[in-house]
Amino acid sequence: MLVNPVKRAYLALESWFNISFGSEWNPLYHLGTLSFFLFWIILVTGLYLFIPYHGSIAGAYASMEYITHEQWYVAGIMRSMHRYASDAVVITILLHMFKEFASGRFRGFRWFSWVTGVPTLWMVVTLGITGYWLVWDELAQYVAIGSAQLMDALPIFSGAMTRNFVSGGMTDRFFILIEFLHLLGQPMLLLFMLWLHVKRMSHVAINPPRGLAMGTFFALLALSLYEPALSHGPANLDTVPRVLQIDWFYLNVYPLLEIWPAQQVWMFTTGLTVLLMAMPWLMPKKEGPAAVVDLEHCNGCGICFEDCPFDAITMQARTDGARYENEVVVNPSLCASCGICAGSCPASNPFRSSRETLKTGIDMPQLPVDEMRRLTRETVESMSGHSRIIVFGCEHGLDVARLDREDTRGIKLICSGMLPPTLVEYALKQGADGVMVTGCRENDCFFRFGNSWTRKRFTGDRKPILRARAERQRIRMHGAAEPDLRSVEADLEAFRKHLVELNQATASGKTGTE
């Protein structure tokens, strides 16, 4: 299967991080929660810095120098961590956007998260800009004058902002305004946008793994001690600063004002923003049909409601007069067509109806559970050898057809999470010696929870569980992407040897009892 170069580059980066940090602590798998953690650091350090800060033309720079040098052991470190955590959150957001784009997770049913995510980045940038303004050093002066030029390019200001700087009309009221924006107005708006960004998702995590959080914190602390954040010289509107150290994460727009008029800078940034927000429709993806509920076979247990990654399923009172209290309803506009709900349904039991068509409470029209059962049965019958292995994969992971051989056959699912646990047991009962489930890479499921829900069902930590009588030693999971073919093949070879030993032990046991 051809993998586009951007996705291949991301997968290579992801592989390198897996080697360096391990799958559980790979930062690329926790970019969203890392961003929230960095926001907490920014909030706590910012609140502490506000205590000794004096927001005025005369006092701003002096108070920042006091913070940096006189109380360097606490406030100075807080300032540095505030600065570096602010830079780090831009990095995590940009990496998150690159990851979603490279993986194709920005279009189709995910358009809402992408469209709300792009302006959120600009809100973070503007929050950083007002933070630089509060220092009131030469860099803050540069930011203030550049901001005035940009605002004056808008019809609503008509040169009023620039006149405040040219004529020396700036007063302490500006600092009151900037303090309000930086400490209350912008954070509240950012919080609303973050809520909106994850609104269509369920089971949203906001805390990274503890080890990764601690590592991030101590890395920021070490950087703060090694390279403290310092101010430039004090702002002086009568002079032009000669040397400035630009923070390119936040102030990248301002150098453009030296080569373009402010109107063109607005056109460029607005055009880039609109282009990014339009990407879901510029590169559309055809979505499969939404999940379909069959009330005749639905008991309203709500497991599919709990498992849906994108909040597409809701519960309501029963409408068909059945003895059950509730029923589930699918919102087609939110449905990811992943099939995880079909794997959640207790009625998706292939042993339940051997001769008739298998009906389940919720199912995928493009790949019903009954079709999965038929494919499983026919695939097992088509294999030969001493260790017949059936491999269940998904559309977004390794193409399992590449693993086909005499004793190994793959079945491609929409997502590994749509695999009912009883279907694994069914495959073993039909004659398969072993079952492997691949899906996406661990902790990086295209549909968020396919891999983790499947693993928890197998271990009995999430309903519907793999029954106790299933031979778990004949079941293996190995998350994989296209570049991981060799790794899966090596694991398969080890699995074959393991199954041969199991078969021999089973045969010896039977012979010994005869």
The string of pLDDT tens digits covering residues 307-341 is 999 999 999 999 998 889 999 999 999 999 999 99
DSSP, collapsed to helix, strand or coil, labels residue 494 as helix
The answer to whether 421 touches 471, Cβ cutoff 8 Å, is: no
The pTM assigned to this predicted structure is 0.92
* Distance separating alpha carbons of residues 349 and 233, to the nearest angstrom: 72
Answer yes or no: is pLDDT of 5 > 90: no
Quick one: tokens of 153?
């390019």
- Give pLDDT tens digits for 197-218: 999 999 999 999 999 999 999 9
Higher pLDDT, 344 or 237: 344
* Cis geometry, peptide bond prior to residue 464 (ω within 30 degrees of 0): yes
> Which of 140, 94, 97 minimizes the C-alpha distance to 247?
140
- Give pLDDT tens digits for 376-435: 999 999 999 889 999 999 999 999 999 999 999 999 999 999 999 999 999 999 999 999
> Which of 28, 29, 20, 72 minimizes the C-alpha distance to 49?
72
- E strand or H helix at 392, and its extent? strand 389-394
What value does the mean pLDDT of the chain take?
92
Domains and CATH numbers, the chain: 32-282 (1.20.810.10), 292-509 (no CATH)
Cα torsion 219, 220, 225, 226: sign: positive
Higher pLDDT, 149 or 354: 149
Answer yes or no: is pLDDT of 2 > 50: no
The answer to whether 123 touches 197, Cβ cutoff 8 Å, is: no
Neighbours of 129 (CB within 10 A): 23
Q: Please compute the mean of the pLDDT values over residues 16-28 and round it to a whole number.
A: 92
